[in-house]
Structure 1
Amino acid sequence: MNEPVSISRATSLSRPASRASRHGSTISRSQSLIQKNIAAHDLRPSDILIERFTAWKAIVKQLISYFEGIADIENNIAREMTKLAGIIQVPFRSGNQFLGEGGLQDIFYGIRDKTRAIADQHANLGRTVDGSIVQHLQKLKAEIKAHIKNIQNDTGKLATAVAKERELSAKLIGDLSTNVSIYKNTPLNITAKTDPYVANQAVFRQLVKQVHTENALQKSLLLTQASSAMFEASLVQAIQSAWATFSEWRTRMDNSIGELFNHLQTDMSALPPDREWITFAAREDHLVDPETPLRDPQAITYPSKDDPSVLPVHIGLLERKKRYTRTYRESYYVLTAAGFLHEYASSDPAVGHQPLFSLFLPLCTLGPPSPSSAKSHKFHIEERKDGTGATNSGSFRHMKDSLIGRGHSTGRAWAFRARSHDDMMEWWNDIRMLCARYLVASEQMERDGPVLAAVRAAGYTSDDDGEETEEGSSIEEEADDDDDAIYVEARDLADGEGEETGPPEYSHGPAVSARDNGANGYPVRNFLTAGPRRPSADGGARRSTRKMAQA
């Protein structure tokens, strides 16, 4: 008796539990049809379609953003091109500098107008993309959203019904198993409703209903798949149409812009390069005539240009002995009427515009020139502090003492060498006219024959066989004979002490009488026979002072 009661209690308890669970799960079944209540593979085609067209919606959205960007770019280009057109200011503000017609101004008119036309082309393309293509793609996006909604509505209801039928079928099958168990265990406790036959009939009817619902869902899915395939094809065609429209408008714009630029190129290349200048030169009166000759600096006249003091007395090349290396260096020298011997780096005034070395000759003593038989054609100039010196200091010994720092003089001495004896005599004759005093060598006796041969055999050499060794000079020292050279005063100060003398000038005129001032203001010696200032054509030097005194 206890077992049937327990069985009936179990049965009675299971029914209220099943009823409560049935009422409590109504909402949850409608919310989670695919994930919980049914198998995933049965309703997966619907989910796949939804996911696919959701991806299509994202693609179309990207394409919309792309074309919106193109529209913005074209509109920005249109604005910038309009600004560029405003840069060209025509007509020109520079007065009558350019032609009004048929010149550069007409080309600039074309540049401005065609730039504005190019800006209009870009603006038209931007408006077309924004108003046609972007709007078309936005409508396409809305259609995709609607199609996704239709898939959800059509298959969703059927999927809900299938889920309900499957749940009911599972419950009836469970009840059938329970009734069969009661029948086998407690056959006396079975009722008409719990009869396994009746329960089986209910299960069969429910399975038939479930199968019909599932078949309806399958048909709906097949229709949805077919419509989705057609809809996707229409999506592709719509995108292709949008891109074809953009390409057509873009090609049309590019062709128009290309034609505009070609016209600009044609107009610019058609302008002759010299048209503007020919017209400008024809109407302008202040341009320089191309036939005007260039000015010659030598033809310039200015005050004191031809004054004797600015003309060089002698110019040419000389070699000056270096003080420490004892080697000669050739330079360009200029002897001026003011009494200066200037050394320049070059004869080109642009290179040597300032003298490298200058010697004021009125305060110097000029040494005798080397004879014509000497191997080196040189002379010496000694600097004197007082400018007068002693009257009996004209020998070679005193000259040597002054050069090496001994004797009465405290000045310096310089040795100069020329390329030839004639060139040296020209320099020497011009310099002696400007020095305070100069030395004249006496005539040397020609020694030859057995005496000269014996002297040379004994190991003695003449004075001209080698170069000098004294620092800063190259004077060959003679024997202790003070009469070998005679000191000659270039300025005779005996007469007219305290008299004012004229400014130093130099003239290449004939010799003047003794104690007369020359053209340069310095007194000159009275020679009984006025010799030429420069050597004769046969190369002989001037006669010595002693011979001239004997004449």
Structure 2
Amino acid sequence: MASPVEHKLPQRTGTVSSSFTRRTSFSDDEAIPDTDSSETSNLLIERLRAWKHMCGNLEDYVSTTAKLSKSQSKDHEKILKTVSEPLKEAHHFSQSEGGMAGLFNNMRTNSQGMVNMYLETENNLKATVLPTLERLHKEIKNKSKELKSGAAKGAKAVEKARNVTQKHIELLGQHSASHDSAMGSKIEQAHDPYILKRQINHRLNKQVTEENNHRQDILTVQNSFQQFEAYILQTVQAALEQFHQIMGGQLDRQRAMYADVLGAAQRIPPDFEWINFCVSNDAKLVNPDSPPREFANITFPNQNHRATKPLLEGTLERRSRAVIKGYSSGYYVITPARYLHEFKDNDDFRRDPSPELSLYLPDCTIASIDGVKFSVKGKDISSNVVGNAFHATTELNFKASTASQAEKWWSLIKESTNGSAVAAATGAAATATLASPVSPTNGPTSPVGSISGKTNQPPTYAEKEKDTHSPAGTPTEVKTPGSVKPISRTASSGSSYFAAANGTAAGEKSEKS
């Protein structure tokens, strides 16, 4: 008997490419290359998508700039409102173009120009730059669609051919192994490895043709990308050049407008407004050539009225109410209104000449004279001392520089207590005063000591006069200088004797015949 034959299973060495070998193969000699036919097209499509997004960003940039220009136009309308109204107190400024009014007209014109300029910028960006970018965006999208449709179709054909070839290669491997194991057993005609190999050659050739066609298409597209991207860049550059012209022109116009405002301000001469103001208000402004006013040349109504001229004035000494202080000098005046006023001095300019002491003589009594001394008892009605608000009656002791001066003061005060002093001092000036101008509000005023013999009451001074004298209109006896009875004086101190209202000293003995 024949010895049994050893059957060995065939070792498949590279007859069938596994998926692993396909993934790790880097050779173009393999039947089924380990490459993705759509990998290149997908990469180019992704690149076109990047360019499309870049173009979209530029569109957003330009459109947002256009919106900002519109917003700035509205903001400049607010600026225009600040100078739209005429200047306050516009009559103080020259209305010609060379002054402040002209400057504000210039500012209004240029502000309105900026409003219009920003609106023009918005329109120009929307009409020129944005359409260019939008058109480019559309071309990129179309390019991407073309690549997707063409490359995807070729990639599908390649994949289909590879799948068919791969199926026959696997079938050849299967039946080649069966042939080795069958050892001469019958193999179906369709599975004859010889025929399968020839069928693989046919399909592999067809696969290679599809791969090469697809490769050529992708290569054509890939080569065209350089030109297409160059076109994209040129279009973007052209759009940005338009953008630069529009925005740069806007900035130049804006700079020119501000420069025009500055020039209008700088062209105003420093004295332009002042000279025009002086010409327009010549009648109201001070004439620098006119001399300053002098007090001595000023006149006013009733400036020389007889009631304003003192009956007697000069310096007297008065003993202080605080005995330890002794006598202090002051300037005293007896007025036609029958007041005895005390002032610090005779200066009307250094301080307001408000009386330090005021006695209404008809309400006072006077004691007998004693050499250079005499005393008056009455109420101080001045408003300079707080205690005088109660107008307490007090005795005031005076001292003149000489006996003759004391005689004058004593006599006039004595006569003023019954009104005869006014008639004696002003009777001589009565006739001249009647013909003199008088205050238009008071009308003609008769002399204080009238010729008719009726006593004139002193003028009414509401802030000084009190209702202590007889009512106005009450006739009182007027003693002319010639009818005044001589007043007897004793050597005794006058402080203990005060004259009564009718002129008779209290306690004084009647004269001997």
Q: Scaled by the length of structure 1, what TM-score is found?
A: 0.48
Amino acid at match of 2:245: A
Is this contact kept in 1: 2:154–2:210, CA < 8 A?
A: no
Is this contact kept in 2: 1:363–1:435, CA < 8 A?
A: no
Partner SS for 1:54: helix
Other-structure match for 2:359: 359
Other-structure match for 1:239: 240
Q: Which runs of 5+ in 1 are unaligned?
A: 1-36, 372-377, 386-409, 437-489, 493-499, 510-515, 529-551
Other-structure match for 2:469: none
2:146 to 146, 154, 161: 154
Is this contact kept in 1: 2:73–2:118, CA < 8 A?
A: yes
Q: Answer yes or no: is 1:52 the counterpart of 2:51.
A: yes
Write the deviation string for residues 342-371 of structure 1: whole angstroms up to 9, x where unpaired.
Answer: 355784468536445433455245698899
Q: Which has the higher contact order (CA 8 A, sep 6+)?
A: 2
Write the deviation string for residues 379-406 of structure 1: whole angstroms up to 9, x where unpaired.
Answer: 8754489xxxxxxxxxxxxxxxxxxxxx
- How far apart are residue 209 of structure 1 and its match? 2.4
Q: Scaled by the length of structure 2, what TM-score is found?
A: 0.51
Is this contact kept in 2: 1:193–1:199, CA < 8 A?
A: no
- The separation in 2 between residues aligned to 1:40 and 1:358, in whole angstroms, is 124
Partner SS for 2:190: coil
Other-structure match for 1:31: none
Is this contact kept in 2: 1:344–1:355, CA < 8 A?
A: yes
Alignment of structure 1 residues 362-377 onto 2, 5 Å: 363-365=364-366
Write the deviation string for residues 129-158 of structure 1: whole angstroms up to 9, x where unpaired.
Answer: 456554220221222222322331232124
How many pairs were matched up? 378
Other-structure match for 2:127: 135
Other-structure match for 1:216: 217
Going from structure 1 to structure 2, the CA distance change for 1:240 and 1:182 (only over 3 Å counts) comes to same
Going from structure 1 to structure 2, the CA distance change for 1:81 and 1:302 (only over 3 Å counts) comes to closer
- The separation in 1 between residues aligned to 2:482 and 2:51, in whole angstroms, is 119
Alignment of structure 1 residues 216-365 onto 2, 5 Å: 216-244=217-245, 246-248=247-249, 251=252, 254-255=255-256, 258=259, 262=263, 266=267, 274=275, 278=279, 294=293, 300=299, 302-303=301-302, 305-307=304-306, 310-311=309-310, 313-315=312-314, 321=320, 333-337=331-335, 338-343=337-342, 347-348=347-348, 351-352=351-352, 354-361=354-361, 363-365=364-366
Provide the aligned C-alpha RMSD in A.
6.1
Going from structure 1 to structure 2, the CA distance change for 1:164 and 1:309 (only over 3 Å counts) comes to closer
Is this contact kept in 1: 2:342–2:357, CA < 8 A?
A: yes
Other-structure match for 1:433: 411
Other-structure match for 1:452: none
Other-structure match for 1:460: none
Is this contact kept in 1: 2:365–2:378, CA < 8 A?
A: yes
- How far apart are residue 224 of structure 1 and its match? 1.8
Alignment of structure 1 residues 363-442 onto 2, 5 Å: 363-365=364-366, 382-383=377-378, 411-413=393-395, 431-433=409-411
Amino acid at match of 1:164: K
Going from structure 1 to structure 2, the CA distance change for 1:368 and 1:200 (only over 3 Å counts) comes to farther
Is this contact kept in 1: 2:374–2:406, CA < 8 A?
A: yes
Partner SS for 1:525: coil
Going from structure 1 to structure 2, the CA distance change for 1:50 and 1:306 (only over 3 Å counts) comes to same
Is this contact kept in 1: 2:55–2:137, CA < 8 A?
A: no
- The separation in 2 between residues aligned to 1:150 and 1:238, in whole angstroms, is 20
Is this contact kept in 2: 1:333–1:344, CA < 8 A?
A: yes
Write the deviation string for residues 172-197 of structure 1: whole angstroms up to 9, x where unpaired.
Answer: 47746864785489779988379774
Q: Answer yes or no: is 1:525 the counterpart of 2:503.
A: no
Alignment of structure 1 residues 192-203 onto 2, 5 Å: 192=190, 197=197, 201=201, 202=203
Q: Which runs of 5+ in 2 are unaligned?
A: 1-35, 180-185, 381-391, 428-477, 491-513
Partner SS for 1:168: helix
- How far apart are residue 62 of structure 1 and its match? 2.1
Other-structure match for 1:144: 136
Other-structure match for 2:32: none
Alignment identity in percent? 10
Other-structure match for 1:24: none
- The separation in 2 between residues aligned to 1:318 and 1:177, in whole angstroms, is 154
- The separation in 1 between residues aligned to 2:209 and 2:316, in whole angstroms, is 137
Partner SS for 2:352: coil
Other-structure match for 1:29: none
Is this contact kept in 2: 1:75–1:122, CA < 8 A?
A: no
Is this contact kept in 2: 1:53–1:148, CA < 8 A?
A: yes
- The separation in 1 between residues aligned to 2:135 and 2:402, in whole angstroms, is 116
- How far apart are residue 519 of structure 1 and its match? 5.9
- The separation in 1 between residues aligned to 2:72 and 2:289, in whole angstroms, is 55
